[in-house]
């Protein structure tokens, strides 16, 4: 270990490692490294008094068994000790000091390779240890000669002494001779072969959710067994899914979902049923925001709850929305409010990095507490607040003053739904998406735009220019292209902008007028019902 100086240096001068060299004179032998660690231990000296023995007995064997009368024979000296005269012994302890540091040798020994001592490079290495200046000055690399390998000399292993620890190991299996040539590259071993100093405990444990599943080949009749997940064995817990071309919608869950109904919690199932009675279609994030954090986690872990009350579309205008069992949005024009608009922003690296860091375990700000109340409205788009998560909103959750008249405009409703635009005309739905896109991606840049900034979208040809800008990397792409985005926006004539602003104002006025008429109609119905009650009285 280098003697007392190396120990003093490791303990007193802030050393962190100490090398244990099993072959100190061999520079090619890799040592075992010990780590200097801080400890809080005490060095205790323990002294015990010798036990009393009966003298005068002859020496016996070094180790003797116990006698039949209950006495025993002392080890080594062969003196018999009577069971009744043996004392319990007296122990004395004394604390000599504290142990603030300890060297732990827990690493494995590295692989060892001994090069040929007759090699001129090895001889140069030895000369450097001896500080032989003449050998260093006269050293010169010899040119390599092909071939780079030479045959190994045949060696007959000498008989070994069975009592000796030096055993010749034949590297070839089953004692066969090897024809591998000997290298002539004069390569020295590296200072370290393996970087893994401590063995890793694998501790393989089978997944507790995996069970052994047996299956029989219908052709050969051979039975095979394999591990399979419990949920896969009994079927997926995802809601039933249909395509747009399906003529009917599911009215009840699949059989394997009904079989797992006993696992569902009644209070969660009742709350889900009530929510779907109030609103027949939900986005996943909107539905999750209706539950506290603990119940939302239970819904996510036990997916059977949602599968018992809803189904999904694989494609179409209501794709990836949760729809109440038995309700067909393709037959109800009011289902247009449950259509979804969503966007991708792959270049928003800052938001993505932030979300990854916040989800990273072990952080101080990562708690299991209930999220703030603001996160409960992450599914709502008002045009002024940047929501966390993906840009996915249902039309009924959009409260922006410019978008609400567009969404409620009954003149843009189709007679039959379309797979891409739902109940809206292609122009109207594209206009809604364009306004949401512009406002949302400006919020990502920290800007809140007014309704006038979207007036160019209402101009004939404005949607085409907006879609072209979106494909070419416009304001929503990120902070890298703000000038390019501003410069590529098509200039619009002032008279067209005025006409577009007038159209926006008219749409808002119609929306306000319609709301007032509905309110007056409701008030008149209430007055009529009150008058009827008075007549009956």
Confidence of residue 77 (pLDDT cuts 50, 70, 90): very low
Distances in Å between the alpha carbon of 536 and those of 266, 357, 523, 525, 531? 44, 68, 20, 17, 9
Among 38-52, 378-392, 507-521, the minimum mean pLDDT is found in 507-521
Nearest of 452, 469, 466, 321 to residue 397 by alpha carbon: 321
**Antiparallel, parallel or unpaired: β 149-150 and 72-73:** unpaired
Whether residue 199 has pLDDT greater than 70: yes
Query: Cβ of 43: how many Cβ atoms within 10 Å?
Result: 10
Q: What value does the CA radius of gyration of the chain take, rounded to a whole number of Å? A: 42
CA separation for the pair 71, 85 (Å, rounded): 10
Q: State yes or no: pLDDT of 157 exceeds 60.
A: no
Question: What mean pLDDT comes out for the span 85-108?
Answer: 81
Cβ contact 221:214 at 8 Å: no
- Spatial distance between the Cα atoms of 497 and 454, rounded to a whole number of angstroms: 10
Tell me what pLDDT residue 308 has.
Answer: 93
| pLDDT tier at 9, thresholds 50, 70, 90 | confident
What integer pLDDT is reported at residue 84 of this predicted model?
A: 44
Q: Does the pTM exceed 0.85?
A: no
- Looking at the DSSP assignment, which residues form a beta bridge with residue 99? 41
Q: What is the DSSP string of 66-97?
A: PPTTS-EE-TTT--EE-TTT-----EEEEEEE
Q: Is pLDDT of 478 > 70?
A: no
d(CA 518, CA 475): 39
Please report, for the chain, the start and end positions of each structural domain, with discontinuous segments joined by +: 381-537
Q: What is the pLDDT of residue 154?
A: 60
Residue 42 corresponds to which tokens in the numbers above? 């005490």
- Is the pLDDT score of 316 beyond 60? yes
For residue 363, what are the CA distances in angstroms to 309, 356, 357, 360, 388? Answer: 37, 11, 8, 7, 19
Which is higher by pLDDT, 277 or 16? 277
Q: How confident is the model at residue 54 (pLDDT cuts 50, 70, 90)?
A: low
Q: Which residue has the higher pLDDT, 333 or 301?
A: 333
- Residue 203 CB neighbours (<10 A): 5
pLDDT for residue 290:
92
Lowest model confidence (mean pLDDT) among 31-35, 145-149, 464-468: 464-468
Burial of 60: CB neighbours in 10 Å, binned 0-12, 13-18, 19+: middle
* C-alpha span between 338 and 398 (Å, rounded): 11
Taking the CA atoms of 274, 276, 279 and 284 in sequence, report the sign of the dihedral they define. positive
Q: What is the pLDDT of residues 373-411, one digit of tens each?
A: 446 788 888 888 887 666 789 999 999 888 898 899 888
Instruction: Give the model's pLDDT for residue 217.
Output: 83
Quick one: which of 325, 332, 316, 324 has its CA closest to 422? 316
């Amino acid at each position: 270990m280098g003697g007392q100086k190396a120990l003093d240096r490791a303990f007193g001068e802030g050393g962190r490692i100490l090398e244990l060299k099993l072959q100190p004179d061999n520079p090619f032998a890799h040592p075992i490294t010990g780590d200097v660690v801080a400890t809080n231990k005490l060095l205790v000296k323990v002294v015990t008094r010798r036990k009393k023995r009966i003298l005068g007995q002859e020496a016996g064997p070094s180790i003797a068994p116990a006698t039949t009368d209950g006495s025993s024979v002392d080890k080594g000296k062969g003196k018999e000790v009577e069971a009744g005269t043996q004392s319990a012994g007296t122990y004395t302890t004394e604390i000599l000091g504290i142990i603030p540091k300890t060297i732990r040798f827990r690493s494995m020994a590295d692989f060892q390779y001994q090069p040929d001592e007759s090699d001129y490079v090895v001889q140069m290495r030895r000369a450097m240890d001896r500080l032989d200046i003449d050998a260093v000055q006269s050293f010169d690399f010899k040119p390599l000669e092909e071939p780079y390998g030479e045959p190994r000399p045949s060696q007959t292993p000498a008989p070994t002494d069975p009592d000796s620890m030096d055993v010749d190991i034949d590297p070839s299996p089953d004692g066969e001779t090897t024809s591998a040539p000997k290298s002539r590259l004069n390569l020295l071993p590296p200072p370290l072969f393996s970087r893994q100093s401590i063995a890793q405990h694998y501790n393989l444990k089978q997944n507790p959710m995996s069970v052994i599943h047996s299956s029989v080949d219908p052709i050969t009749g051979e039975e095979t067994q394999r591990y399979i997940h419990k949920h896969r064995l009994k079927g997926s817990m995802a809601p039933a899914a249909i395509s747009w071309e399906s003529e009917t919608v599911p009215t009840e869950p699949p059989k394997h979902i009904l079989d797992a109904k006993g696992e569902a919690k009644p209070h969660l199932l009742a709350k889900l049923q009530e929510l779907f009675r109030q609103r027949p279609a939900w986005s996943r994030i909107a539905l999750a925001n209706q539950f506290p954090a603990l119940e939302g986690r239970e819904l996510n872990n036990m997916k059977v709850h949602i599968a018992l009350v809803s189904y999904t579309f694989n494609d179409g205008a209501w794709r990836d929305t949760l729809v109440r069992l038995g309700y067909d949005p393709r037959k109800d024009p009011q289902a247009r409010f449950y259509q979804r608009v969503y966007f991708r922003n792959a270049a928003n690296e800052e938001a993505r990095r932030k979300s990854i860091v916040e989800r990273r375990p072990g952080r101080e700000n990562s708690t299991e507490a209930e999220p703030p109340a603001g996160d409960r409205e992450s599914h709502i788009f008002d045009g002024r607040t940047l929501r966390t998560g993906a840009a996915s909103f249902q039309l009924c959750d959009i409260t922006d003053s410019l978008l609400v008249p567009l969404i409620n405009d009954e003149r843009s409703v189709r007679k039959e739904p379309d797979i891409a635009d739902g109940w809206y005309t292609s122009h109207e739905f594209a206009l809604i998406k364009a306004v949401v896109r512009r406002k949302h991606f400006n919020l990502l840049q920290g800007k809140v735009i007014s309704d006038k900034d979207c007036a160019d979208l209402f101009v004939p040809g404005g949607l085409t220019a907006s879609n072209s800008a979106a494909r070419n990397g416009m304001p929503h792409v990120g902070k890298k292209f703000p000038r390019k985005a501003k410069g590529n926006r098509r200039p619009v004539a002032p008279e067209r902008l005025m006409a577009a602003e007038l159209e926006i104002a008219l749409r808002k006025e119609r929306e306000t007028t319609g709301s007032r008429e509905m309110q007056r109609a409701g008030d008149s119905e209430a007055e009529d019902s009150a008058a009827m009650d008075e007549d009956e009285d």
